[in-house]
């Protein structure tokens, strides 16, 4: 005989039932007090960032809808389970039932979840396909991941030819708990990626060293940056603002110090930003042709060092023993300058020492190399000129 036996023949008396419910009420009261006390001690962030694109709103809408679907399923399943447990527990005289397989029940608990999944998959598939459609962009930007910064190259559209790196600007004293944390702790950079509002921006991602991931939640963009490969994604912001994200891949020791900042501005402000960047690039090109004095190179080099080198080699040049070498008194920093230039340009394979040839200009490389050779206990008195960097490339 096939069937599911669920009948309970023994019915408890009123006194037993009342005692059982009293005990259960005490347990529920204790659980409620525990939850309330936990809530009073902690603040929970239970929502996404405010969406700034149509795709981000679609993602947010699906998240909320699926949460409700899961909540309804949770309530139904656990209500039946808890009702069965408390209504038929031993203290009320309940006796275990004998269960046998049921073909109808097995079909139901296979078909119903399948239908639910199909209903949920349909909008997800539409959104994922839309995320992959990066055709007909207004602006194309190549994003390159470095340990631990982002490089931006404007390849097509307004701003074509602009190129810069974006580096964390959170002060080291905040990172080392020597000063109060700022509002945008570990989410602030010197140069954000700037784009106009209501324009389709195509992002091409790659990496120079290890796998990174360019992630901005409010724009619904998350794309891995893989060395040797080009991957693409896109977004179209429908409002102005500053949107922050982080590298979402475990890319090394300073993974937490690799933020993404996108500034969406009006077309007028974007045109003004382009003009300012082009003027700055022209001035930088002129800087590479002049002969610098030692003091100016050291001053500029200190700024470049603080943005690109201080995390590993530290502000005092002592490095981190056993992890990153010291520059203060090192053979490289006080030895032959040709070897120093070669190391800064090409990096050191197999270590965290990156090749800066593609990240910094000749002037910046000359300045930071000069700074390292004339700071702390290093007093070579040598001023390395941009022309020397250019010749060594």
pLDDT at 45: 62
pLDDT at 26: 52
**DSSP secondary-structure letter at 199?**
-
For residue 244, tell me if it sits in a domain: yes
For residue 336, tell me if it sits in a domain: yes
CA distance 164 to 277: 9
247 and 192 in a common domain: yes
**Taking a C-beta distance cutoff of 8 angstroms, is the pair 250, 285 a contact?**
no
| Domain boundary pick from 77, 104, 132 | 132
CA distance 358 to 377: 29
295 and 244 in a common domain: no
75 and 21 in a common domain: yes
| Domain boundary pick from 281, 302, 330 | 281
261 and 172 in a common domain: yes
Q: How confident is the prediction along the chain (393 residues), in pLDDT tens digits per residue?
A: 333 333 333 333 443 333 343 444 455 544 444 444 443 333 446 678 899 999 999 999 999 999 999 999 999 999 999 998 888 888 888 777 777 788 888 898 899 989 988 988 988 999 999 999 999 999 999 999 998 899 999 999 999 999 999 999 998 889 889 999 999 999 999 999 999 999 999 999 999 889 999 999 999 999 999 999 999 999 999 999 999 999 999 888 788 899 999 999 999 999 999 999 999 888 777 777 788 999 999 999 998 998 888 878 988 999 988 888 999 999 999 999 999 999 999 988 878 788 888 888 889 999 999 999 999 999 999 999 998 998 988
* Number of separate helices (H) and strands (E) present in the chain: 11, 10
pLDDT at 111: 94
For residue 4, tell me if it sits in a domain: no
Pairing of strands 259-265, 193-196: parallel
277 and 143 in a common domain: yes
pLDDT at 358: 82
For residue 31, tell me if it sits in a domain: yes
pTM of the shown model: 0.75
300 and 276 in a common domain: no
378 and 248 in a common domain: no
CA distance 380 to 373: 6
315 and 244 in a common domain: no
CATH number of the domain enclosing 335: 1.10.760.10
86 and 156 in a common domain: no
263 and 190 in a common domain: yes
CA distance 336 to 222: 44
CATH number of the domain enclosing 254: 2.60.40.420
Number of domains in the chain: 3
CA distance 351 to 366: 22
CATH number of the domain enclosing 59: 1.10.287.90
Residue 5 CB-density burial (10 A; 0-12 exposed, 13-18 middle, 19+ buried): exposed
For residue 153, tell me if it sits in a domain: yes
For residue 3, tell me if it sits in a domain: no
| Domain boundary pick from 103, 132, 161 | 132
* Domain with 360 in it: 288-392
19 and 115 in a common domain: yes
For residue 47, tell me if it sits in a domain: yes
117 and 149 in a common domain: no
For residue 7, tell me if it sits in a domain: no
Residue with tokens 């963009």: 221
- Structure tokens belonging to residue 290: 């002049």
């Amino acid at each position: 005989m096939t069937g599911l036996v669920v009948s309970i023949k023994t019915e408890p008396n009123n006194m037993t039932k009342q005692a059982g419910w009293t005990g259960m009420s005490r347990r529920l009261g204790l659980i409620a007090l525990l939850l309330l006390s936990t809530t009073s001690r902690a603040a929970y962030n239970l929502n996404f960032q405010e969406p700034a694109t149509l795709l981000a709103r679609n993602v947010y809408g699906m998240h909320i809808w699926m949460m409700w679907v899961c909540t309804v399923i949770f309530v139904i399943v656990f209500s039946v389970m808890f009702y069965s447990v408390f209504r038929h527990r031993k203290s009320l005289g309940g006796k275990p039932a004998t269960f046998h397989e049921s073909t109808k029940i097995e079909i139901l608990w296979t078909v119903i979840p399948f239908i639910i999944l199909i209903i949920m998959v349909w909008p997800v598939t539409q959104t994922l396909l839309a995320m992959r459609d990066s055709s007909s962009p207004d602006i194309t930007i190549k994003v390159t991941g470095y340990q631990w910064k982002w490089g931006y190259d404007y390849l097509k559209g307004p701003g074509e030819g602009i190129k810069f790196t974006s580096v964390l600007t959170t002060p080291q004293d905040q990172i080392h708990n020597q000063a109060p944390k700022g509002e945008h702790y570990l989410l602030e950079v010197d140069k954000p990626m700037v784009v106009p509002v209501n324009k389709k921006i195509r992002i091409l991602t790659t990496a120079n060293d290890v796998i990174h991931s360019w992630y901005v939640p409010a724009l619904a963009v998350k794309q891995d940056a893989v060395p040797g490969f080009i991957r693409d994604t896109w977004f179209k912001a429908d409002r102005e603002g500053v949107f922050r994200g982080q590298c979402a891949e475990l890319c090394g020791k300073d993974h937490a110090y690799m933020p993404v900042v996108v500034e969406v501005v009006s077309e007028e402000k974007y045109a003004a930003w382009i003009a300012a960047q082009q003027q700055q690039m022209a001035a930088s090109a002129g800087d590479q042709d002049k002969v610098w004095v030692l003091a100016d190179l050291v001053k500029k080099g200190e700024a470049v060092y603080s943005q690109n080198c201080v995390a590993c080699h530290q502000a005092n040049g002592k490095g981190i023993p056993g992890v990153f070498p010291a520059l203060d008194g090192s053979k490289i920093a006080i030895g032959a300058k040709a070897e120093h230039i070669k190391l800064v340009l090409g990096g050191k394979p197999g270590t965290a020492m990156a090749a800066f040839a593609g990240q910094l200009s000749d002037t910046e490389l000359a300045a930071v190399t000069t700074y390292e050779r004339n700071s702390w206990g290093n007093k070579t008195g040598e001023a390395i000129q941009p022309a020397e960097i250019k010749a060594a490339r």
